[in-house]
Amino acid sequence: MDKNEAINKAIDEAIRHDILTDYLRKHRAELLDMTFFEYNEEMHIKAIRDEAFEEAAEQYASQLAEKDDQLAEKDDQLSEKDEEIARLKARLAKTDRIWRTFPDKKEGEDQQGFKMQGSSSKANL
């Protein structure tokens, strides 16, 4: 009995004993093709490593995408804060310009030019 016949017989026996019946019927041709290749441990180990590498790369890509999203969100938050700072600086500059338009105050006057209590001015006496 040659290898092909032995494999077919093993598949038939498994099917007859209801072992992996659906799978064996569906993939018989693939199984026959695969069994003609000799097992190569080095290739098997390489295939496992390649598969593990691909899984790790996918996980890394997923984590990287997540971190990129987080950084983009933080960047947006920083931009909003920068805009708020710019608005506040403009408001402060405008307020400063307004205050500079007032004449210099005399000693004992508040910012509106009114006499302050407790000043040493003779007018308060």
| In a shared domain, residues 26 and 50 | no
Q: How far is the CA of 86 from the CAs of 50, 76, 82, 123, in angstroms?
A: 52, 15, 6, 45
Q: Are residues 32 and 44 in the same domain?
A: no
Predicted local confidence at residue 6, as pLDDT:
85
What is the model's pLDDT at position 99? Answer: 84
- Please tell me the predicted confidence (pLDDT) of residue 120: 52
Could you list the residue range(s) of the whole structural domain that residue 20 is in? 1-37
Query: Which pLDDT does position 103 carry in this prediction?
Result: 65
* Mean pLDDT per 10-residue segment, the chain (125 residues): 82 90 86 71 86 95 96 96 96 88 64 58 46
Cα-Cα-Cα-Cα dihedral sign, residues 89, 90, 91, 96: positive
The pTM of the full predicted model, rounded to 2 decimals, is 0.39
Do the domain assignments include residue 77? yes
Residue 44 sits in the same domain as residue 95: yes
Q: Are 24 and 11 in contact (CB under 8 A)?
A: yes
Domain count, the chain: 2
Confidence (pLDDT) at 125: 44
Beta bridge partners of 92: none
CA distance linking residue 26 with residue 54, whole number of Å: 28
Does 95 fall in a domain?
Answer: yes
Q: Is residue 91 situated within a structural domain?
A: yes
pLDDT of residue 27: 85
Same domain? For 63 and 95 the reply is yes
**Which residues, 6 or more positions from 120, have their beta carbon under 8 angstroms from its beta carbon?**
107, 108
